[in-house]
A and B are shown apart, each in its own frame.
Chain A
Amino acid sequence: MDVLILASESCDPATEIICAPENVIELFEFSVPLFSIGPLDFTRTVVLTFLAMFIVIGLLYMGFRERRVVPTKFGVAMESVVSFVRDDLAKGTIGPDGARYAPYLLSIFMFILVANLFELTPGINFPLTSRMAIPLMLAIFTWLIFVIVGFSKNGLHYLFDIVWPKSVPLALRWLVGLIELVSVFVLRPLTLAVRLFANLVAGHLMLTLLLGSGWIFFAAVGDIGARSIIGIPWFLFGLGIFVFEFVVAVLQAYIFTLLSAVYIQTSVQPEH
């Protein structure tokens, strides 16, 4: 990204460092392909997606390459991640049957974690999950799984129980059923995707603005002299947000996985 943004409306194109982009989407769009293989264009996002995939595979492979009596420190760390997802998230939320869904939950947890942490990786500084396509695709996977599980475990009762909840008084039943129908089949995947997307977009923008403006103030020392010292608090604030974003990245991966488990659980054992 060669254009840093600053919240200034009047922009002189000659000093390209203080130009705001026409549209904020520029911070997230890499439409120029880096290279192409046949008809497939590889933009930076696609390359990073593959990188995240290989990192996840590599971490799990390195952790469980060989069975040892006394595992290495790295092996213990990977085992604790796996057992956290399988025992706490899958079995703890879905029930004893939950181990069946542990591979899926582990995959999305690891992928989202790595993709989120790209935001803080020096040299990359771009959270993959701030492109709507990626959280939306993951949310659609979860949607497909809980819908298919619901229909295969409960048959058409799954749908009837949602649109015609028996526990609600008859006069309100159609209204509650309608709300539930929209909530389960539209709002669930939408909010699942947007929650991840919005948190990472906000984090990426904050980091870009704070660290970028701090840098711009430092760089403008020749023009504005000692006033460039206001770059220091901005930069320090940016570093504080940096630590906060680490927490957000881990937490959002956890929340996405937890909600996927909860949605699958409502399909396995319908409440109504």
Chain B
Amino acid sequence: MEEIKGAIALIGYGLAAIGPGIGIGIVVGNAIQAMARQPEAANMARTTMFLGIAFTEALALIGFVLFFIA
């Protein structure tokens, strides 16, 4: 059987990136819908979208830190 090399932390980071990936997709998709329906509120939607992305991204970032710590 072939030997598998590498750090298990890499797999952990990969797993940690799944959830935020889906989450950011949902956030941005809904923000685009909001902007398309109400273009006059696009600025507010954009700011809120960046906030939502930033909070969702936090999970992936914790995974990224653990990758370096582990």
Give chain A's interface residues, CB within 8 Å of chain B. Answer: 88, 92-93, 187, 190-191, 194-195, 198, 251, 254-255, 258-259, 262
Q: How far is the CA of A268 from the CA of B64 in the complex (A)?
A: 31
A173: min CB distance to chain B, Å: 22
Determine if B50 and A255 form an interchain contact, defined as CB atoms under 8 angstroms apart: yes
Specify which chain B residues have a CB less than 8 angstroms from the CB of A88 in the assembled complex.
47
Specify which chain B residues have a CB less than 8 angstroms from the CB of A195 in the assembled complex.
54, 57-58, 61
User: What would be 13 A-B contacts, judged by CB atoms less than 8 Å apart?
Assistant: A88-B47, A92-B47, A93-B47, A187-B58, A190-B65, A191-B57, A191-B62, A194-B62, A194-B64, A195-B57, A255-B50, A258-B47, A258-B51
Q: How far is the CA of A88 from the CA of B50 in the complex (A)?
A: 14
**B43 and chain A: residue at smallest CB distance:** A88
Q: Tell me whether chain B's interface is mostly helix, strand or loop, or mixed.
A: helix
Specify which chain A residues have a CB less than 8 angstroms from the CB of B50 in the assembled complex.
251, 254-255, 258
B19: min CB distance to chain A, Å: 15
**A92 and chain B: residue at smallest CB distance:** B47
Specify which chain A residues have a CB less than 8 angstroms from the CB of B57 in the assembled complex.
191, 195
Determine if A191 and B58 form an interchain contact, defined as CB atoms under 8 angstroms apart: yes
Specify which chain B residues have a CB less than 8 angstroms from the CB of A198 in the assembled complex.
61, 64
Interface residues on B, range: 10 to 19
Most chain B CB within 10 A, of A92, A190, A191, A262, is at: A191
B residues 52-69 touching A (CB-CB < 8 Å): 53-54, 57-58, 61-62, 64-65
**B53 and chain A: residue at smallest CB distance:** A255
- Known pairs A92-B47, A258-B54, A262-B51; list 18 more (Cβ under 8 Å): A93-B47, A187-B58, A190-B65, A191-B61, A191-B62, A194-B61, A194-B62, A195-B61, A198-B64, A251-B50, A254-B50, A255-B50, A255-B54, A258-B47, A258-B50, A258-B51, A259-B51, A259-B54
Specify which chain A residues have a CB less than 8 angstroms from the CB of B54 in the assembled complex.
195, 255, 258-259
8 closest Cβ contacts across the A-B interface?
Answer: A191-B58, A194-B61, A198-B64, A255-B54, A191-B61, A195-B61, A194-B65, A198-B61
Specify which chain A residues have a CB less than 8 angstroms from the CB of B62 in the assembled complex.
187, 191, 194
A259: min CB distance to chain B, Å: 6
**B59 and chain A: residue at smallest CB distance:** A191
Most chain B CB within 10 A, of A88, A198, A254, A259, is at: A198
Q: How far is the CA of A191 from the CA of B55 in the complex (A)?
A: 9
Q: How far is the CA of A251 from the CA of B47 in the complex (A)?
A: 11
A247: min CB distance to chain B, Å: 13
A96: min CB distance to chain B, Å: 17
**B44 and chain A: residue at smallest CB distance:** A92
Specify which chain A residues have a CB less than 8 angstroms from the CB of B65 in the assembled complex.
190, 194
Q: Mark B19-63, 1 if CB is under 8 A from A, else 0.
A: 000000000000000000000000000010011011001100110
